[in-house]
Copies of this chain bind each other. A is one copy, B any other.
Amino acid sequence: MHTKHTHSLALRQTAMGDLSVDFPLFPPRVGEFRRDADPSLPWPLELDFDYSALDVSLFDAPRCGPSLGLGAWGPLMPPLTPQTNLGEGETPFFELAALADWAGIDRPVFIKDEGRNPTWSHKDRLNRCTVSAAQLDGAPGVIVASSGNHGASASAYAAAACLPCIVLASSTAPLAMQRFVAAYGAAALAVPSERRWDLMARLQAKTGFHPVSNLTPQAHTGHPFAIEGYKSIAYEIFRDLGGNAPGSVFVPTGYGELLYGVWKGFAELRALGLIERVPQLYSCESTVYGPLHSAMRDDQPVVSVPSPNGSTKALSIATPVGGLRGRRAILESGGAALAMDDEEIEAARAKLAQSGLWVEFSAAAGLAGLRQQAARERLPDGPVVCLATASGMKDVDGAGEGLPETDGSFEDATRALRENYGLEI
């Protein structure tokens, strides 16, 4: 009942913004690539597709039958293995009326809740693609450096693919994140973050395990199949808006893979003649590093920030290097690079919790960015979308207190409600 569109139209690997670069689809080029045109920086690769063969009814096909995960968008995805289907994607997209008022705007605000993926973050869209690539490439295992959502997601997909997985994580991640990284049976170690990428490269060379996270610290270029999975977010938003693009999308941003993937999805829809323009994309970083914000301000292709400007609870987006893909997404969509401090992010996080959504601290950066930008200038016409990238469960730490205790008598309970919550019974 759902066999119509499943095989991939991916043709080859090419370079971001330079279609003259041409490599066969397999093996995935996971190492460093430098363009002849500009050898000063490692450059991201991505996939090119046979768009002329695409049946665009893909975008209005009704969803029916068992979940295919990203297989539902098979023609515009890299080749995906059936074993790695965990039902990722198709995350709820809905308006939360209270948010427009709060952000001070007069158009509807939609949440795309990526905390409803198989491992409760957007990273599952990436790992469906990269772990499929590892499996199709005949890799003996998967290796990933990440103390958070990416590492846990990769280990879930490796488990589904029956591949061993090494995760180079961190002992400073929240307790829930550490348990999460270990939950799927990966060989997970806590590694000092400054030695992580070097160790990963050495372990990868020795084992032949397929790397599904970045190997190029100078400029994050990632896995060549990685960002294709994120395109599906654009497709789902387009379809759920009845075949329209929103006016703007606010994206919590670390290395910028998500941002670029969402941009590429909308850019494809425009190239296919299905929408007139790509929504303005806003990257939402933490001010403690904010490399993309700096790269845009100073017109640099890549910015590396050696040391943090303070501390932040937005661990999943606190990354020291940015540029390249993120710049392209912002420049070509007419958006902007935003940076938020923890106070702004916490206000957005609290507003979402008060509206019934408990998101990871980093995941609230999208809504925080919307509020910041709306105070600065009028947003383009059309609905506003905030991506909420992960579940609040990820932030659970061993620190902090349990619930206020009472002996269960009416008198003591009413006292506790009054003293702790100001509730007069």
Write the residues of chain A forming the contact surface with B, with a CB cutoff of 8 angstroms. 1, 60, 62-69, 83-87, 90, 92-95, 97, 110, 113, 116-120, 156-157, 159-160, 164, 166, 168-169, 171, 175-176, 178-185, 187-192, 194-196, 198-199, 202-203, 206-207, 239-242, 353-358, 391-394, 396, 398, 400, 402-410, 413-414, 416-417, 420-421, 423, 425
Whole-angstrom CA separation of A187 from B421 in the bound complex: 6
Query: What chain B residues lie within 8 Å of A396 (beta carbons)?
Result: 175-176, 179-180, 393, 396
Shortest Cβ distance from residue A144 to the other chain B in the assembled complex, whole angstroms: 14
**Residue on B nearest A169 in the bound complex, by CB:** B403
Q: Is the CB of A402 within 8 A of B199?
A: no
Grouping DSSP codes into helix (H, G, I), strand (E, B) and loop, the A interface class, with mixed when no group exceeds half, is: mixed
Q: A67-B92, A92-B118 are in contact. List 17 more A-B contacts (CB 8 A).
A: A60-B64, A83-B97, A86-B92, A113-B118, A120-B393, A166-B423, A175-B396, A175-B402, A183-B353, A183-B392, A184-B358, A185-B354, A187-B421, A189-B406, A191-B413, A195-B407, A198-B408
Checking B66, B94, B242 against A86 with a beta-carbon cut-off of 8 angstroms, the contacting residue is B94
Whole-angstrom CA separation of A391 from B391 in the bound complex: 11
Checking B67, B179, B180 against A94 with a beta-carbon cut-off of 8 angstroms, the contacting residue is B67
Q: Is the CB of A404 within 8 A of B358?
A: no
Query: What chain B residues lie within 8 Å of A62 (beta carbons)?
Result: 62-64
Query: What chain B residues lie within 8 Å of A206 (beta carbons)?
Result: 425
Query: What chain B residues lie within 8 Å of A116 (beta carbons)?
Result: 87, 116-118
Q: Is the CB of B171 within 8 A of A405?
A: yes
Whole-angstrom CA separation of A357 from B87 in the bound complex: 10
Query: What chain B residues lie within 8 Å of A85 (beta carbons)?
Result: 94
Find the residue from A113, A117, A169 having the highest chain B CB count within 10 A.
Answer: A113
Find the residue from A69, A97, A156, A396 having the highest chain B CB count within 10 A.
Answer: A396
Q: Is the CB of B242 within 8 A of A178?
A: no
A sample of 6 cross-chain residue pairs with beta-carbon separation below 8 angstroms, ordered by A number, consists of A69-B94, A118-B356, A183-B392, A391-B391, A391-B393, A393-B393
Q: Is the CB of A356 within 8 A of B159?
A: yes
Shortest Cβ distance from residue A173 to the other chain B in the assembled complex, whole angstroms: 9
Checking B63, B188, B398, B404 against A175 with a beta-carbon cut-off of 8 angstroms, the contacting residue is B398
Shortest Cβ distance from residue A145 to the other chain B in the assembled complex, whole angstroms: 11
Q: Is the CB of A402 within 8 A of B355?
A: no
Find the residue from A164, A183, A357, A402 having the highest chain B CB count within 10 A.
Answer: A402
Q: Is the CB of B159 within 8 A of A354?
A: yes
Given contacts A65-B242, A354-B184, A421-B187, contact A120 B120 (CB under 8 A): yes
Shortest Cβ distance from residue A92 to the other chain B in the assembled complex, whole angstroms: 3
Query: What chain B residues lie within 8 Å of A65 (beta carbons)?
Result: 240, 242
Shortest Cβ distance from residue A213 to the other chain B in the assembled complex, whole angstroms: 16
Q: Is the CB of B83 within 8 A of A66?
A: no
Query: What chain B residues lie within 8 Å of A241 (beta carbons)?
Result: 66
Whole-angstrom CA separation of A191 from B1 in the bound complex: 51
Query: What chain B residues lie within 8 Å of A66 (beta carbons)?
Result: 93-95, 110, 240-241
